[in-house]
Structure 1
Amino acid sequence: MLNRLPVDVNPFKLVEQGRCLTGAVPLQQLPRLAEIALEGTEDMAVSLDFTRSMGGRPMIKGYIRGNIVLECQRCMQPVTFPLDALLQVALTTFESDERPEQEGLEAWLIEDERLFIQDFVEDEILLALPLVAKHEQCEPLRKLIEALPSDEPVTENGQADSAASAKKNPFAVLKNWKKPE
């Protein structure tokens, strides 16, 4: 079992010291992730190396690893998403700093010289998750209704609705407006 990470740190001091924090963050400490994760999600293994970029900017390099159980949006059954997120984030103290992007790094705004580790880790996990959790192959919870080649409406049992097709199409007049020249 990995060590628990501190709640907050001064990242600039850790950069000067060249420190590396390694530990685990339990799901209970990540409230936004806990809302969408299902039972069986494990603690996240985290390694954060406080260092400098090639251009001398303070940055965090590292990884977040673990298995997150989400609900498949097709069949509504649990699906395990193996998370292996690599981090390279430049630290900045003001929003208008464009230098991290010029180095090809994502910027992370530090206020009051404090970095809340749990918030940082949770944000990076949420960014790494798929937009829609689903199995590679599964059947949808409800059967999909295929479109008919004709314009006839379909009832729930899949049959063409003759009462609706008997109605006159109000746009039928428009089909003859544009004639080939």
Structure 2
Amino acid sequence: MSVRLVIDSLDFVQNAGIRHGKIPMVELVRLHDLLFDQEGELTYRISGQFDKNTKPGLQLEAKGRIHLKCQRCLGELNYTIDLKTFLLLAKNETELHLADEDDTIDAILAIPDLDVVNLIEDEVILSLPISSRHADGECSTVKLKLAEDNLIGNKKSAHPFAVLATLKKTN
């Protein structure tokens, strides 16, 4: 496990801090249940800056390819993460509550020991689809079912109830 990046969020913004690096998927433990495997990594960049109203915030970018678990077939689903977000830093609970009332603003509480990897993991989880699945007809089980139906469809021409009707007539 690599060393965790912990920043004092307001100090990071005051000093116009910039950090970047890579996070192996193995380290994003809360994502593991959604993943098909733990292959790959995310590259990230976080910078402290002020918004147009001179409020402190963090500009966060994360990119990478991960393998989600398809909810239909439970197979591997390639997914590209291209996350860009600005998080306003609220100095107290009241500011955070006011920021939460505006749907156009994402805000977090400014704390002196902000774990950047946990923050990135939170944002990635929030950016994922509610139900990850292949497009229609792309699941491996759906493809197998369609192929099976074609084989069976060629062999049987009568409806199952038609077979029962003929049995009924003969008896």
For the aligned pair, the TM-score class normalised by the smaller chain equals 0.7 to 0.9
Match of 2:16 in 1: 18
Match of 2:7 in 1: 9
2:27, 2:91 → 1: CA distance? 26
Consecutive unaligned residues of structure 1, counting only runs of 5 or more, are 144-157, 161-181
Task: Give the 5 Å matches for 1:1-181.
Answer: 6-39=4-37, 41-97=39-95, 98-99=98-99, 102=102, 104-111=104-111, 113-136=112-135, 137-139=137-139, 141=141
* TM-score normalised according to structure 1 size: 0.69
Alpha-carbon RMSD: 2.7
Other structure's SS at 1:84 match: strand
The Cα of 1:99 is off from its aligned counterpart by: 4.4
Other structure's SS at 2:47 match: strand
Are the equivalent residues in 1 in contact too, given 2:75–2:140 (CA < 8 A)?
A: no
Match of 1:149 in 2: none
* TM-score normalised according to structure 2 size: 0.72
Deviates more, 1:91-100 or 1:62-71: 91-100
Aligned length: 144
Other structure's SS at 1:75 match: coil
Runs of 4+ residues deviating >3 angstroms: 99-104, 139-143
For residue 64 of structure 1, what is the amino acid of its counterpart? A
Consecutive unaligned residues of structure 2, counting only runs of 5 or more, are 146-158, 162-171
1:103, 1:57 → 2: CA distance? 17
Are the equivalent residues in 2 in contact too, given 1:24–1:45 (CA < 8 A)?
A: yes
Aligned sequence identity (%): 20
For residue 96 of structure 1, what is the amino acid of its counterpart? T
Deviates more, 1:50-59 or 1:35-44: 35-44
Q: Which has the higher contact order (CA 8 A, sep 6+)?
A: 2
Are the equivalent residues in 1 in contact too, given 2:36–2:75 (CA < 8 A)?
A: no
The Cα of 1:27 is off from its aligned counterpart by: 1.6
- Bigger share in helix: 2
